[in-house]
Structures are given as C-alpha cells and as structure tokens.
Amino acid sequence: MLTVQDVTPAELTWVGLTPDGHLFRTAEDQAPRTSGKDAPVLLTRVDTHQTLYLVAASGKCVALAVHTIPAVENISEGVLFNKFTSLDSSDTPVALFGAPSKVQNSVKSVISVSRDGLIKKSAVADLPGPSSQVFVLAKVNDGDALVDVIVSDEDTEYLIATSAGMAIRFKGADVRSMGLIAAGVNAVKLGKDERVAGLVDLAGKGELLFISSDGLGWRILPEEFPVQGRYGQGVVVGKLKPGSQIVGVVYGKKNQTFTTFFKKIASKAFRIDVIPAGKRGLVGKPLLELKSLDVAMRVMTTLDATLPVVEKKEKPTEKDEDYRQVSILGGED
C-alpha cells in the first residue's frame, strides 16, 4: 500500500512551538527568528517524511507525521498544541525532536533527564509511529518533571549541569536502555534545593557554555570535566553570585547558536563565542547586562534532525563529526 512518503518528495521544514503554545511548520526551509518576544520556545529542523515527537514535562508524548502539521507563513498562525494533539493544555511541552531515518533508528537512543536527576534511555526504534494517542516517553515521579530530551548514539558521553553550578560527565554506556514506561536511573547527586538545569551530548569536537540566571556565562572546554561514574556530585563549573543559579548549558562549535529566555526582556540569540573561553571554577563573564529584577529563565538550542549522522562503529570524518546538535543558524567561522 502506497503512503504519502512513497508518492511525495521530502521537503525540509522547521517545526516549533510559540510562547503561547501554537505548534507550527514553516512553509519553506527558512528558520524563524530565534530572538524577540515572539521567538519560538522550541524549534527543530526536520523533513516532511519524518515523525515529530512533542514531549511534555509530565513525560507524556505524542507522535505526529510532520506533513500533517499545518504549514504557515507566520509562526503565530500555528495551531494550539492541545487542540492539534491529545495533550492537555496543562501538559507543558519541554522538548520536540524528529525521528531519524529508518536506517539510523537501530543505533539511536532518546535520552531524557528530570529535574530531580533521573536519566532515562530508550531505543528510538521502540517509539510508536504517528498516532492520535498519547504515550509515556518516561515515567515521571510525583513532584518531578522532565527538563531535557535529546537523541543520541550509544557510544557517546553525557554532561548534566545543575542549578548549583555543578556538572557531571559520564559515559552513555552507564545508562542501559529501558522500556518506555520506566522512570530511569539516578544520574547526579543533588543537594537541597538543587535541580538539573540541562543535559548535552558530548558528540564531536565542541565547547560548553553554561548560563546563569543573572546573565553570566562560562565557556569551557569539555576536557575540563573528568569522566566520572554515573550518580556522582560532579565538579564545580564556576563561582555563582549569591542568589543566582545555572539555568542551561549548550554544547557545540563556537558558532553554535542558542536562545536565552528572560523573565522581563525579550529572548535573545547568542553564539557560544559570545564570551571568551576560560577555565572551570572562575567568575562568569556577562552575556549581557540585566536590569534589576530581571533574570534568565531557560536556554534553547536549535537542533537539526535532517543532517546525516555517522553510523555506529564508523569513524567520524571532520565533515560530519557533530551533526546531531549543530545549529545551521550561525555563520561561518
């Protein structure tokens, strides 16, 4: 039986979610603005033959055929996610990602991490296809919530940043693959009032940038973070000012772009090289000067699910070493 994928060519497009909860797909392969008051809070590049997964903080998830999402000229013309999917309006979306091609599915995993430090790995091949039904991507305990979801290789390393200015790096093999209904395993030991701020996949060459609530940043090479066993306390990222906390972490080449969202001012897009590189344990450098009572709330990295990913056991080349989390919004070096 012929499917839409069999009779139509795949078209590149951008899918995202606006601040007021409208799900959109761009009519052309042109990214929307990633700064300003109307900038999308979630964004990824996919093609119309892929499946899009929209994940809520509760661990619930919906799978959508990309081509069924209405294409719009203006992202504000999208459809409310709770009207287009079976998620409730109370199911706050925290991530979206496109499924890799069928050829790659067997070697890909979807990794989620919760605010209280539980990490969960499941095979992308185990994810259901497009359906009107909600499924559980990860069981979330009472009082907890998912904060990050990535698609990764098995033989990679993860780095988790915490609100207290700590970070732990460990091998992906330390997290075994589990069924969808599992809650996961402990990833990091958290102190009182400490929570997970972000998760990145340390695939390929790149640099880390940690962002704090008071607008400071720490640009650090991954070599500064020793590989440890899962469920340790990690090491210090930098010196936080009293009352401030880490709100996000980004990994990629120096022209990797990301968006920071604030409590008062409009969101702003930056590159990793917005500040000079430094060492761990130092005072952060300002991304921008924040006025009184304003704070950075969260960070978004734009992902591209359409670029080729090196198959397992194949040695990466310089050209394709880090395509899972490379932004094509930045310029050339």
Residue 77 sits in a domain whose CATH number is: 2.120.10.90
> pLDDT band for position 312 (50/70/90)?
very low
15 in a structural domain: yes
Instruction: Give the end-to-end CA distance of the chain in Å, rounded to a whole number.
Output: 47
Is residue 313, in this structure, part of any structural domain at all? no
Per the structure, the complete domain to which residue 10 belongs is given by 4-304
Token readout for 321 is: 């070493």
| Structural domain count, the chain | 1
Return mean pLDDT, the chain: 90
Question: Does any domain span residue 325?
Answer: no
Q: What is the pLDDT of residue 1?
A: 63
Instruction: Measure the CA–CA gap between 108 and 67, rounded to whole angstroms.
Output: 23
Residue 67's nearest CA partner among 84, 85, 46 is 46
pLDDT at 102: 66
Residue range 246-289, pLDDT digits in tens: 999 999 999 999 999 999 999 999 999 999 999 999 999 999 99
Cβ distance 85 to 64 under 8 Å?
yes
Whether the pLDDT of residue 147 is over 50: the answer is yes
**Using one digit for the tens of pLDDT, what is the confidence trace for 31-74?**
999 999 999 999 999 999 999 999 999 999 999 999 999 999 99
Q: Is residue 326 part of a domain?
A: no
The pTM (predicted TM-score) of the whole model is 0.90
Mean pLDDT of 192-215: 98
Domain for residue 327, yes or no? no
Is residue 128 included in any domain, yes or no? yes
| Contact assessment for residue 155 and residue 183, using Cβ atoms and an 8 Å cutoff | no
In a domain, 322, yes or no: no
Q: Is the pLDDT of residue 318 over 90?
A: no
Count the neighbouring beta carbons within 10 Å of the beta carbon of residue 29: 12
In a domain, 111, yes or no: yes
Using a pLDDT cut of 70, give the percent of the chain over it.
Answer: 88
